[in-house]
Amino acid sequence: MRLSKNLTLAEVTKSATAIRKGISNEPTIEHLENLKAVAENIFQPLRDKFAVPIAITSGYRSADLNKAIGGSSTSQHCKGQAIDIDADVYGGLTNKEIFDYIKDSLDFDQLIYEFGTKNNPAWVHCSFISSGNRRQILRAIKKNGKTSYELY
């Protein structure tokens, strides 16, 4: 099933952890609608702008999968509202270019510069909700071995 011209449901639900542990990662109808909104408002505009393959390293996570990977209990991934994007997987584009394009050109709820270096995040987390997007921009960092977030 296609969520947008260049993104399939399989790409946003595939999880090695779910496969390995036998965890179901099937979205509900509500989650599926949210995934379509993320695909149409975040992913597809990126593909249209840059015209290169872009990898989704994390998309939808069922509650059981999220627990198994130690994800936040408030993760928008569990609602189908967030994707993690990694342009480095295929090359031809940097994560910083993706981050800057989303920041400057798209509507979003939350945009996170995930770790990496001063010049390029390791990946980009972006969420979208159908109404009331906060346009919150954060940077994920490690403090005393734990992940914390600061305003970008």
What amino acid is encoded at 74 in this protein? T
Domains of the chain: 2-151 (3.30.1380.10)
Q: With contact defined as beta carbons under 8 Å apart, do 112 and 140 qualify?
A: yes
The Cα–Cα gap between 23 and 14 comes to 11
- Cα-based distances in Å from 137 to 48, 66, 69, 87: 23, 23, 24, 19
What amino acid is encoded at 103 in this protein? K
The Cα–Cα gap between 144 and 91 comes to 32
Position 91 scores a pLDDT of 87
Q: Is it the case that residue 14 has pLDDT exceeding 90?
A: yes
Q: Is it the case that residue 103 has pLDDT exceeding 90?
A: yes
What are the residues whose beta carbons fall under 8 Å from the beta carbon of 14, sequence distance 6 or more? 25, 59
Global pTM reads 0.94
Position 92 scores a pLDDT of 87
The Cα–Cα gap between 19 and 14 comes to 8
- In the DSSP assignment, the letter for residue 146 is E
DSSP β-bridge partners for residue 84: 58, 125
Nearest CA among 72, 116, 75 for reference residue 97: 116
Tens-place pLDDT, residues 105-116: 999 999 999 999
Show the tokens assigned to 76: 């928008």
